[in-house]
Structure 1
């Protein structure tokens, strides 16, 4: 195994990262300057480079540029201090794997990033490319899901614990929150990562075909069945099966699904031979299944079997700290596709994004950034957003909101979400504590 290179001029933080990585069994080498890092990298290959942004003879972006030119396949992670997240996002647009913030919130942040880097080196993430994401669903986030909100960071911690196990997982949340992205993340970080990931939307299948799609059918079992067909359970054998909109299954199919989950055995439509499979099931729904059980629309025994490990994903409007990071990610992806490498978000657009209710959640945000990338020349402004001028978003009372109104509202709501904690509110807003204190005085929000 090639060593990991840590580049940081702070000996204490450098030693902290080294201790964590060595404790995980990784060989580590360290450097304190850009020139030193370049000399070391010219002499040998590294599995991963973790570099501070601020260095005595340059910055981490210089290190990243060197690697992009001389060792482009080496994963790169940037370390940033408070208030420099936008720089880290720019680095990710240019190919950085991820970034860490000082102070390190948890050693698990570093461990997660390193595991993903090692998976990239081993080529294991290529398995995920075999399954196309659903239309509009964010892709490529497995192993590096964009999460800055405390609720989502907690969910990532849960995913880290449950992913290596065979436990059935039930994902709950509104449409568009990213349930399939999380299912893919579970698969990519499981012991089944080298096996298939198969996704099926139960609500999108015709009632007459859904049983065949799930369990397969034998030749001649019904009109048009000219050949034997393997269902998604067989195709996912050894891997992960993602059953989206599980609440749409009728009672008969619920009973058959329960049997498969309990015994790992089923019969194809029109067949009598038992077929055994080893499949990890991840189910998802935007319905309240507990209420559906009470109303007799969903089997209680199936509900309890599916909800071995339930995870509720909050809507985007309840995790505003993620909006900026996701918007940057999606805008950068669209900018590359449309050959507009210098495209950026204006502060006015950021405020408008935070003020929007996002009924379509992450999927709506991705579509909004793609539209903005098409319309904007160099800077995305509020008028480039699809909801610009909507009364439900950018107006308050009878009159339109100006930029001061939007900023005041964003600050007020951030403080409410963090129970008045100014440090946490400033972090969410992406501004310094001093700037926040100045704005509080200016707007009379003390």
Structure 2
């Protein structure tokens, strides 16, 4: 039958509650109370969906999951676990489960998970055709806005294809500029939620006291300045995907509320008296080491395990030098068309520099370099002399190995200090004569580099709010675009 479901739950009262909820929605449910009962049922028929409790009286539900994956690879499995066993649910997801539910859960969360799993079966035919390597060679063509045919990126493309059919939470890690936002959008575009809303939210760019309102919304009059009702990002993303960028910058108090939201699939806007159910897939990202943040007490361990279900690590550009040339060539032609220039490629010496440069800012830095070349020079070939100075001349190096314009100015361009000491020993005097705006930008960018790309950490060092730093970076980027 189209919606035949096998429910494996050893507690008979819970089994009755779950099965009655499914029957009300027109599903045909067969109940099993142990591993032995479940195996016997699978010999009689193959269901469309298996609801599997992990803690069974005669064994571990993961054993049955592994057996099902081997014998019935197209069967969708949703695992059910107790509140204190999130890690085991994560293990199940990595073993091939479609989704997981943490007891206790309400009917809405339960039925939504079941409907999503069954809906994904309807799309498997078209998805499998699109994913057929004979039809689409992802490694050679790039994918969903990505450019690159390296082995590392090919693996990323395959993971995104595979993740798309699931509703599991995805945790993206990687250095700044590696394409975590692009990865999140690609996951959404390849999911069953592609026709619904994708809502990105940068947890570091929003002031701490407004973050709860931005995520969950608020009612008119709930706090000073709340002049009207406002839906939060979670409500706007209902049916779609909510992307929480820089998740490790989220305040601990809000992490608790986010965990409750993940467990119950309900939100309660600021000032509201009743919660509201939403169906949202969570994708999150960070440029930090999330486990290190957990150990340091800045990120909740239970939230980490709830989010870190399907991890994706975006490789840095220095680990895929062949992709550098593909990205550079594509962006060169694109920017040249925008600017009305006639660039066609790179000379041999420039190619060698692009391949060997460490690219601490990754793809974002590479794109900025190419745009700088196109705006300031004429073609047809990009030559070494056209590249920014820090790529072909000795420069000062910051403490994390990132070229620092300030250090370069201190060492190379400023005359000796009045007291006769070398500029290196008198950095304040070394800055005399430079425009204030240039000093500010160089210092902020060098501080961000020293903080390994973390805007919030750099803002703390500078004594600024993260939103101020983001605004300055955006204004500089806009000036470059209009230069």
| 2:252 maps to 1:251 | yes
Asked if 1 retains the 8 angstrom alpha-carbon contact of 2:217 and 2:269, the reply is yes
Secondary structure of the equivalent of 1:219?
coil
Q: TM-score, normalised by structure 1?
A: 0.56
Give the CA deviation at 1:344. Answer: 1.9
Give the whole-Å Cα distance in 2 for the aligned partners of 1:194 and 1:158.
20
Q: What TM-score results when the alignment is normalised by the length of structure 2?
A: 0.52
Whether the 8 Å contact between 1:199 and 1:243 is mirrored in structure 2 is yes
1:389 aligns with 2:392: yes
Q: Distance in 2 between matches of 1:248 and 1:227?
A: 28
Do 1:343 and 1:377's aligned partners in 2 also have CA atoms closer than 8 Å?
no
Provide the rounded CA distance (Å) in 1 between the counterparts of 2:271 and 2:143. 38
Residue 319 of structure 1: aligned partner: 320
Change (3 A) 1:390 1:236: farther
Spell out structure 1 runs of 4+ moving beyond 6 A: none
Contact preservation (8 Å) 1:176, 1:362:
yes
- Match of 1:370, SS state, is helix
Cα pair 2:267 2:276 within 8 Å, conserved: yes
List alignment gaps of at least 5 residues for structure 1.
Answer: 1-105, 118-140, 395-446
| Cα distance change of structure 1 residues 142 and 206 upon mapping to structure 2, 3 Å threshold | farther
Tell me by how many angstroms 1:388 deviates.
3.4
Question: What residue in structure 1 maps to residue 175 of structure 2?
Answer: 174
Q: 2:343, 2:382 within 8 Å by CA — same for their partners in 1?
A: no
Counterpart of 2:367 in structure 1 is 366
Per-residue displacement from partner, 1:250-278 (whole Å, max 9, x unpaired)? 11111111111121101001112211111
Residues 93-125 of structure 1: per-residue CA shift (max 9 Å, x gap): xxxxxxxxxxxxx984444469xx9xxxxxxxx
| Map of 2:191 onto structure 1 | 190
Cα displacement string for residues 24-76 of structure 1 (whole angstroms, at most 9, x for unaligned residues): xxxxxxxxxxxxxxxxxxxxxxxxxxxxxxxxxxxxxxxxxxxxxxxxxxxxx
The answer to whether the Cα contact below 8 Å between 1:113 and 1:144 also exists between their aligned partners in 2 is: no
Instruction: Kindly report which structure 2 residues correspond to 1:22-101, keeping only aligned pairs within 5 A, or say none.
Output: none
User: Which residue is equivalent to 2:337?
Assistant: 336
Is the 2:216–2:235 Cα contact (8 Å) retained in structure 1? yes
**Aligned 8 A contact 1:245 1:283 in 2:** yes
Shift of 1:376: 2.8
Deviations, residues 134-178 of structure 1 (Å, cap 9, x unaligned):
xxxxxxx86252122211111111111011211110000111110
- Equivalent residue, structure 2, for 1:307: 308
Q: 2:293, 2:154 → 1: CA distance? A: 29
Residues 339-393 of structure 1: CA distance to partner in whole angstroms, max 9, x if unpaired? 2244322222111111211111110011111111112311111222223334369
Higher Cα radius of gyration:
2
1:200 correspondence with 2:176: no
Tell me the secondary structure at the aligned position of residue 208 of structure 1.
helix
Identify if the C-alpha distance between structure 1 residues 200 and 281 changes in structure 2 by more than 3 Å, giving closer, same or farther.
same
Corresponding residue for residue 348 of structure 1: 349
Alpha-carbon offset, residue 237 of structure 1 = 1.1
How many pairs were matched up?
264
Distance in 2 separating the partners of 1:298 and 1:108: 40
1:112, 1:143 within 8 Å by CA — same for their partners in 2?
no
The aligned residue for residue 413 of structure 1 is none
